[in-house]
Amino acid sequence: MNFKKLLQLAVPLVFAATSAFAAEKPEKLHIGITAFLSGPAAVFGVPAKAAAEMMIEDINEAGGIGGVPLSATFIDEGAGGEALLAEYRRLVQDEGVDAMFASISSGNCNKIAPLADDLKILNIMWDCGTQRIFEENDYRYVFRTQSNATPEMLSAVLYLLKTKPDFKTIAVVNQDYSWGRDSWEIFSTALKTLKPDVEVVAEFFPKFGSPDFSTEISRLLALRPDVILSTSWGGDLDTFVRQASQRGLTNNSTLVLPLAESSLERLGDALPSGQIVGTRGDHYFLHPEKLSDPAFTGFVEEFKDATGSYPIYPVYHMSQALNAFKGAYEKAMEANGGEWPDKEQVVDAMTGLTFVGLGREVTIREDGQGVEDQLLGTTVNSDDYDFATLGQIMIFDGDQITTPVGKVSADWLKALNPDFIDAVNVDTFEQ
């Protein structure tokens, strides 16, 4: 018997042996998704839910995951932390879901991550941005399928320094809650490291959900800072931008709005040209590298037809979470010799997984954090759309701007130096 024949006999035997450990293929894969369906953050949760339903239908039409169809149950994060945790437990323990996608709010992610490890349930943090999760703790069952606040803020600083290198003064108007405070902490730390001579002339943290920014705007009109940062979102951002542009604040100051991709369509012509807009990743319905991809443009059109609006970043985040979930099962199945994997094998497969949602490739690092490139642009008002679109688009390489494994963002940012601005890989798209 020669070696080749031996192999031909041995390989199936080995597979037969491992398949003894394979889990039984279920009738369906059931996931629980937490999203704000009420409250102010429903501006993110409602489109994401619509997207999840469309995408799950598409996945099931194409044969599901390894032949198993997918179904989802949604939990409203707007019901509050206690109710969310109770519902989360119920879905995991009573309904026996195969994975949880949680959540939009960073506060909720902080509470859910340890719970997921306790319950030994695969938890995909599909939208929340706090960088602390994996910097301060280790989790086996928790993964984030997109970037976090650090690369999002750092890329905004880099874009600003590349496009407006000579500015002198900056002011901030952020919502008064953890995201508003934390994002300013990261942004200002990075800015002070990369451009130490910038002066911060005002820091405003108006109440979350504030209906009126007139007083802040009067103050800013008098101060005339070169740049005004706002990481606000939803109704707060809309109100601020409208009141600011009505009173000509943008004549002397450039707005830097890292979350404004999600407000572009609602703002219509209220957002003037020349303001810097971020997308929390490379999420944009006119993504310059995806415009020739029929799968991308087809989805954008389908989503617009179904919901009346263009997709915004939570929709892209949802596609990443679902594709990561699908990718992990497929990877685990392959590692399992084509047999259905058990839940632990799927969790193992998440680390090092590379997948594509509706943007560039994302990779999950060994600490569970996804590495995602960042797209930013400057607003342009044209005749093609009745709202501002992005020009002068830059996409920053996620590897270089994400805090390395094992480091804490604040320390890592402070250790950078101004040469970093030119050292980062960036693709620029003139449109």
Distance between CA atoms of residues 81 and 22, nearest Å = 37
Tell me how long the chain is: 431
Residue 202 lies near other proteins (rule: CB under 8 A) = yes
Subset of residues 342 to 401 that bind other proteins, contact rule: CB under 8 A: none
Strand residues in 55-198 grouped as ranges (E): 70-76, 99-101, 123-125, 142-144, 169-173
Token pair 């239908």: residue: 57
Distance between CA atoms of residues 246 and 260, nearest Å = 18
DSSP per-residue string spanning 279-317: -SSS--TT-TTTTT-HHHHHHHHHHHHHHSS---HHHHH
229, 230, 261, 266: residue in contact with other proteins (rule CB under 8 A): 266
309, β-bridge pairs: none
CB of 235 to other proteins, least distance (A): 4
Residues 379 and 277: beta-carbon distance below 8 Å: yes
CB of 206 to other proteins, least distance (A): 7
140, 162, 164, 219: residue in contact with other proteins (rule CB under 8 A): 219
Subset of residues 171 to 200 that bind other proteins, contact rule: CB under 8 A: 176
Distance between CA atoms of residues 2 and 382, nearest Å = 72
Per rule CB under 8 A, count of chain residues that contact other proteins? 37
Residues 294 and 316: beta-carbon distance below 8 Å: no
Residue 288 lies near other proteins (rule: CB under 8 A) = no
127, 135, 216, 373: residue in contact with other proteins (rule CB under 8 A): 216
User: What 8-state DSSP symbol labels residue 77?
Assistant: G
Toward other proteins, which CB reaches closer, 123 or 250? 250
Contact pattern from residue 225 through residue 244 relative to other proteins, giving x for each residue in contact according to CB under 8 A and a dash for the rest: ---------xxx-xx--xx-
205, 385, 387, 429: residue in contact with other proteins (rule CB under 8 A): 205
Query: What are 161's two structure tokens?
Result: 């320094």
Distance between CA atoms of residues 251 and 244, nearest Å = 10
User: What 8-state DSSP symbol labels residue 80?
Assistant: -
Query: What are 181's two structure tokens?
Result: 């405070």
Toward other proteins, which CB reaches closer, 41 or 349? 41
CB of 222 to other proteins, least distance (A): 6
CB of 319 to other proteins, least distance (A): 21
Toward other proteins, which CB reaches closer, 232 or 400? 232
Toward other proteins, which CB reaches closer, 26 or 248? 248
The count of other CB atoms within 10 Å of the CB of residue 286 is 16
Q: Report CA dihedral (182, 158, 247, 219) to the nearest 10 degrees.
A: 50
Toward other proteins, which CB reaches closer, 76 or 372? 76
Residue 211 lies near other proteins (rule: CB under 8 A) = yes
Token pair 């031996």: residue: 6
Which residues, including other chains, have CB under 8 Å from residue 44's CB and lie 6 or more apart?
Answer: 35, 36, 104, 127, 233, 234, 262, 312, 313, 314
8, 19, 93, 214: residue in contact with other proteins (rule CB under 8 A): 214
Token pair 């594509």: residue: 356
Radius of gyration of the chain (CA): 23
Residue 318 lies near other proteins (rule: CB under 8 A) = no
Distance between CA atoms of residues 183 and 31, nearest Å = 30
CB of 280 to other proteins, least distance (A): 19
26, 63, 80, 248: residue in contact with other proteins (rule CB under 8 A): 248
DSSP per-residue string spanning 372-389: --EEEEEEE--SSSSS-E
Contact pattern from residue 37 through residue 76 relative to other proteins, giving x for each residue in contact according to CB under 8 A and a dash for the rest: xxxx-xx-xx------------------------------
Toward other proteins, which CB reaches closer, 232 or 378? 232
19, 71, 93, 215: residue in contact with other proteins (rule CB under 8 A): 215
The distance of Cα 95 from the centroid of its chain, to the nearest Å, equals 28
Residues 292 and 395: beta-carbon distance below 8 Å: no
Residue 246 lies near other proteins (rule: CB under 8 A) = yes
The residue range among 105-113, 202-210, 284-292, 410-418 that interacts with other proteins, by the rule CB under 8 A, is 202-210
CB of 306 to other proteins, least distance (A): 15
Residue 252 lies near other proteins (rule: CB under 8 A) = no
Binding site for other proteins (CB under 8 A): 37-40, 42-43, 45-46, 176, 202-207, 209, 211-212, 214-216, 218-219, 221-222, 234-236, 238-239, 242-243, 246-248, 266, 270
